[in-house]
Structure 1
Amino acid sequence: MILEDLKDYLGFAVAGNFANHLGEAGEADEFSVIKTEEKNAPKGIFPFYIKDYESFLGTYPICDDTILTHGKEDQNLQIEAEVALICDFIYENEKVVDIIPKYFSAFNDCSIRVNDGKKLSTKKNWGTKTKGISQELIQINSFDEKDSILNKFHIASFIKRDGIVYDYGTISAVKSYSYFFNQLKTWMIDKFNTQEDCGPLEELKPFLKNANKAKGMLIAAGATAYTEFGKHNYLKKGDEIFVYVYNAHIHSFQDIMNDMSGVDLYLGQCSKLHQIVE
């Protein structure tokens, strides 16, 4: 699969799937109106790309090497380091009946943080090259928690600014998502069919009207919490963004640091995203 293929995928993301992220992102108040069945459940799903949609959501925002600010540096742009799930899905009788995760990748669900009281989706796509995905896709052997290779993977993110590397998001095991594996899959199927317009979230059914024309879904599973640096430092032109989703049973944190420093080493079980802010 190449990046161009994703233009025919529906782009959605999960909100509030890591402890503390919404509070650190300044979005906890907006989401206070959303009630969940379980305390640690994600808050909902939002769209960030719907091909041919008549609003900003119809703009393809994904790139593997650049984040364009489009003049919005003063709106507090932040990295959101996540796992992207590249999925097939089955849509019948105007309902999502199954989601089949096939590959995963490092993803940057880059976001505007200025609180304008609008829907969450309006902060997620402000033009071309405003999202990031690694072209290093890793095949999912199973999405069952007991057997999945994803149990071994961690998410890490960094900014290199003026030659200095800073931790941006807290290093987090993929399995430490509030919901993941089959629990997340079952929850997402339900949300696609039942989520109503409430607070910062939108009803999802209108975004699925042409779902049978899509090749699949790209689903960002949720952003990690921030380091102290990440909480207080927004993106500037010239920043280098790094997001790694790596097998922590094979690659060490030092391997990741060495890679950012330009050491020539082979990260055989790693999906790496490297973008420049322009």
Structure 2
Amino acid sequence: MKKYNINTEDLKDYLGFGVAGNFANHLGEAGEADEFSVIKTEEKDAPKGLFPFYIPNEESYLGQFPICTDKINHNGIEHLQVEAEVGLICDFVYENNKLVDLKPRYFGAFNDCSNRVQDGKMLSTKKNWGKSSKGIAPEFIEIDSFDEAGILNKYHIASFLKRDGIVHDYGTISAVNSYSYFFGQLKDWMIDKFNTQEEVGPLEALPQYFKEINNKKGILIAAGATAYTEFGKHHYLEKGDEIFIYVYNAHFHSFEDILHDMSGSDVLLSQCSKLHQIVQ
């Protein structure tokens, strides 16, 4: 297993997209189910679509680089929630005005932090409010094969919020393979959506963002947020909060290893991508 050190400067030349509705119940818990009710999917549990959170050189808010490894900019927003996800750093093949292949190369912990104000606008408006509105672990893990036989199939996602010295479970601990769509199914679905998604409900058309994609280094995908615990459902971020997101090999590390790490104990999380952010 090889780790990859994240250089956020390099990510400024990546397109950033998220998958909406890729875990059961998440949209309802996030208060977004009504907005997405107009979107019909071919399968009951299929994700609803893709949304952009960063487009290099875009003149709108999407052109603001939002990714940070150590903090979240609260910016006075009353209803910010952590969204604990697997991030995928992907290469791509774009030919004849079509995205023909995605190649996930690295994975790790990602915070698709979101503003829950229901303003009737596009989902992407709730995803990027400028510098440090997204979180990425400083280390990702190399993907050996993006299928059930690969190491990703052993990994779980866990997230926590530390407030006033007390650690709270924020998202439910979820196996990566419990995503509604993942591995080849997710890859094929994303390629199709990138080429065909039209504006509908809170999602915008996507082909417009790919006209100059061959000038970009790759695509960063936030694969979808886990469901919330009772605490996570009812508590929004406050300044001074500490966010912890772990994407860890559950066949190698125990849950106690994760708890000990948060307490400051000397634990070697060799098969884990860890994101620790402070809300400022």
Asked if 1:5 corresponds to 2:10, the answer is: yes
Give the corresponding residue for 1:28.
33
Structure 2: give runs of 5+ residues left out of the alignment. 1-5
Asked if 1:111 corresponds to 2:114, the answer is: yes
Q: How many residues align?
A: 275
Shift of 1:206: 1.0
Pairing 1:1-278 to 2, within 5 Å after superposition? 1-72=6-77, 74=78, 76-145=79-148, 147-278=149-280
What fraction of aligned residue pairs are identical, expressed as a percent? 74
Shift of 1:4: 1.3
Aligned equivalents of 1:192 and 1:208: distance in 2? 8
Shift of 1:69: 1.2
**Which aligned runs of 4 or more in structure 1 are off by greater than 3 angstroms?**
none
Contact 2:147-2:153 within 8 A present in 1 as well: no
TM-score, normalised to structure 1's length?
A: 0.98
> What residue identity is the alignment partner of 1:208?
F
Structure 1: give runs of 5+ residues left out of the alignment. none
Aligned equivalents of 1:21 and 1:227: distance in 2? 11
Contact 2:38-2:201 within 8 A present in 1 as well: yes
Contact 1:78-1:235 within 8 A present in 2 as well: yes
1:132-187 CA-to-partner distances (Å, cap 9, x unmatched) read 00011100000122x11111000000000000000000000000000000000000
Contact 1:70-1:127 within 8 A present in 2 as well: no
Describe the SS at the equivalent of 2:132.
Answer: coil
Aligned equivalents of 2:97 and 2:82: distance in 1? 34
Shift of 1:71: 2.0
**Relative to structure 2, which stretch is displaced further, 206-215 or 259-268?**
206-215
Aligned equivalents of 1:50 and 1:119: distance in 2? 15
TM-score, normalised to structure 2's length?
A: 0.97
> What residue identity is the alignment partner of 1:108?
N
Aligned equivalents of 2:76 and 2:161: distance in 1? 20
1:221-256 CA-to-partner distances (Å, cap 9, x unmatched) read 000000000000000000000000000000000000
> What residue identity is the alignment partner of 2:222?
A
1:64-96 CA-to-partner distances (Å, cap 9, x unmatched) read 000001222x2x000000000000001111111
